[in-house]
Amino acid sequence: MTSSQNIRHVCAGTLVSFKHVLTAEHCLVNRNTTLIKVIVGSTYLIMGRRHSILWWIGFDHWSSQLNIRPTFMMNDIAIIKLKVRINSSIIPATLSNYENSAIFGLNVEIAGWGISNTGEVAPIMEKIKVTVLSKDECEARASILAEEELRFESVLFCTAANPFALVKIMDKLLVLQLLSLIK
């Protein structure tokens, strides 16, 4: 997603149907969504077709409308409905329904636009191969790094890679920082 006011990358999302995008709610809160365009069909940020947002809804608002009590205190997830249907040559992602334990030890690729080790926003989608860790292994590794005991929700998954990819918060946005990947 980009903001048309100053043409800058705001957040990434996943096309889950020909009219719906799954993204983080913090990417949309307090933003004029008429100025945000969803770019589809390219791994290069300034390419692809721009789509306008018809509406969006965050999980907490959706669940309160249906009188569903959220399981977790923080639910940073939202669905965007696009004004126009995406071209059928672009295939929406298939969402996994695997339990986390079914993917422990698997090597997978993660992709996104983020900050490179030079500090610049990468205009081309970056990807890196990672190994999915068990909750116990993740907590053990993170606790060693933090020098204190850490615990994570069981619905989260954790990965490790070499070179490593760091996900961190910058300007209230989650940024995938690919380190030692850019030459």
pLDDT digits (tens, 9 = 90+) for 112-163: 777 766 777 778 887 888 888 898 998 898 888 888 998 887 777 788 887 6
Domain count, the chain: 2
Domain contains 88? no
Residue 92 in tokens:
């929406």
Which range of residues forms the domain containing residue 40? 2-82
CATH number at residue 15: 2.40.10.10
68-102 pLDDT per residue, tens: 887 777 788 899 999 999 988 999 988 878 887 88
Please indicate, yes or no, whether residues 57 and 122 belong to a single structural domain of this protein.
no
Domain contains 95? no
Strand 158-160: give its sheet, edge to edge: 107-112, 126-133, 158-160
Domain contains 145? yes
Please indicate, yes or no, whether residues 106 and 170 belong to a single structural domain of this protein.
yes
* Residue 60 pLDDT: 86
* Residue 7 pLDDT: 61
What secondary structure does DSSP assign to 13-82, as a single string? EEE-SSSEEEE-GGGTTTS-GGGEEEEES-SBTT-SEEEEEEEEEEHHHHHHHTTPPPSSS----EEEEE
70 in Cβ contact with 58 (< 8 Å): no
Domain contains 170? yes
Work out the pLDDT band at 178, boundaries 50, 70, 90. Answer: very low
The SS3 of residue 127 is: strand
Please indicate, yes or no, whether residues 124 and 68 belong to a single structural domain of this protein.
no
Q: What are phi and psi of 2, to 5 degrees?
A: -130, 155
Q: Which of 47, 82, 117 is the last residue of a domain?
A: 82
Q: Which of 82, 112, 145 is the last residue of a domain?
A: 82
Q: What does pLDDT average to over the chain? A: 79
DSSP 93: P
Domain contains 183? no
Please indicate, yes or no, whether residues 107 and 63 belong to a single structural domain of this protein.
no
